[in-house]
């Protein structure tokens, strides 16, 4: 059953936002970036006027939504179908801006709004939406960055413990309470203006590679850290009995 009452949608959005904020408040957050001005915990005050196009894979959308320090400076493209009213309301309750449309419905109107009504906002975009394939880059982020002449900041996210809600073509990843979350912003990418179709394809593939590499490096770093922790624990456990025996021998002597 679809909820169509604006009041019930708003109540549901408030509950979801409150729950996610509570979960994130228990987590340990680590932000990584080669440039502090592109980190998601940057305050983006008057000394940092630049605004970016920020792609995030659909399954990881909750991470920047609730870990960005200035969610009120973010706008997002939200589908026009009835079920997306919940997401649109949630974005606006967080202080951001929701623009309704997708590549299938309302695309022209949404792109016009993105090009004319996003001054002062970072543009958060799920480049594999609205219907996948999962983590396959589409051209929207490149088109927008080229026309607005904004740099693109690729991102990657990881949490030590998560829930996964299965969907029709992708899942939604939710960090569990008291987990560690790592938020990575990569090198900002400048996109030339007035791109040809071939240029758009080239830069789309380039962004795909940048996102894939960022996620691979993050996964590798967390795997290495986990392995080092396990080895340290095993070393400590194997050394402990020897210490106890040595102590007994001294007592017997």
* Residue-level pLDDT at 246: 46
**241 in a domain, yes or no?**
no
**239 in a domain, yes or no?**
no
**252 in a domain, yes or no?**
no
Share of the chain above pLDDT 90, in %: 56
**51 in a domain, yes or no?**
yes
* Residue-level pLDDT at 186: 96
**247 in a domain, yes or no?**
no
**C-alpha 223 chain-centroid distance:** 20
Distance CA 31, CA 183 (A): 5
pLDDT in tens, 220-245: 999 877 666 666 666 666 655 554 54
Residues 6+ apart with CB under 8 A from 69: 40, 41, 42, 43, 44
Query: In the predicted model, is pLDDT for residue 249 greater than 50?
Result: no
pLDDT in tens, 45-84: 888 899 999 999 999 999 999 999 998 899 987 776 655 6
**126 in a domain, yes or no?**
yes
Task: Give me the domain span that covers residue 197.
Answer: 6-227
**148 in a domain, yes or no?**
yes
Top pLDDT among 69 and 104 is at 69
Neighbours of 205 (CB within 10 A): 12
Which of 143, 130, 251, 242 has the alpha carbon at shortest distance from 192?
143
Average pLDDT over residues 8-34: 94
* Residue-level pLDDT at 229: 63
**220 in a domain, yes or no?**
yes
Crossing angle of helices 107-116 and 140-148, in 10° steps, is 40
Crossing angle of helices 197-252 and 140-148, in 10° steps, is 110
Number of folded domains that form the chain = 1
* Half-sphere exposure (Cβ direction) of 173: Cα atoms closer than 13 Å: 19
pTM, two decimals, is 0.84
Domain with 26 in it: what CATH number?
A: 3.40.1130.10
Average pLDDT over residues 126-155: 92
């Amino acid at each position: 059953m679809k909820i169509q009452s604006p009041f019930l949608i708003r109540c549901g959005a408030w509950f979801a936002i409150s729950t996610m904020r509570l979960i994130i408040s228990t987590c340990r957050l680590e932000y990584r970036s080669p440039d502090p001005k592109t980190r998601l915990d940057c305050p983006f005050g008057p000394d940092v006027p630049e605004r970016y196009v920020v792609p995030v894979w659909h399954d990881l959308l909750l991470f920047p939504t609730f870990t960005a320090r200035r969610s009120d400076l973010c706008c997002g493209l939200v589908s026009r179908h009835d079920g997306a009213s919940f997401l649109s309301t949630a974005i606006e309750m967080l202080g951001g801006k929701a623009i309704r449309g997708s590549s299938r419905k309302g695309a022209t109107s949404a792109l016009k709004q993105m090009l004319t009504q996003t001054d002062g906002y970072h543009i958060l975009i799920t480049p594999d939406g609205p219907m996948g394939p999962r983590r396959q880059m589409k051209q929207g982020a490149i088109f927008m960055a080229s026309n607005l002449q904004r740099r693109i900041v690729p991102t990657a996210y990881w949490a030590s413990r998560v829930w996964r809600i299965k969907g029709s073509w992708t899942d939604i990843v939710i960090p569990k309470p008291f987990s560690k979350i790592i938020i990575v912003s990569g090198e900002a990418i400048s996109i030339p203006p007035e791109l040809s179709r071939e240029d758009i394809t080239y830069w789309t593939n380039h962004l795909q590679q940048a996102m894939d590499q960022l996620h691979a490096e993050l996964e590798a770093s967390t795997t290495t850290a986990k392995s080092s922790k396990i080895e340290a624990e095993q070393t400590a456990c194997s050394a402990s009995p020897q210490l106890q025996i040595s102590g007994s021998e001294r007592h017997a002597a």
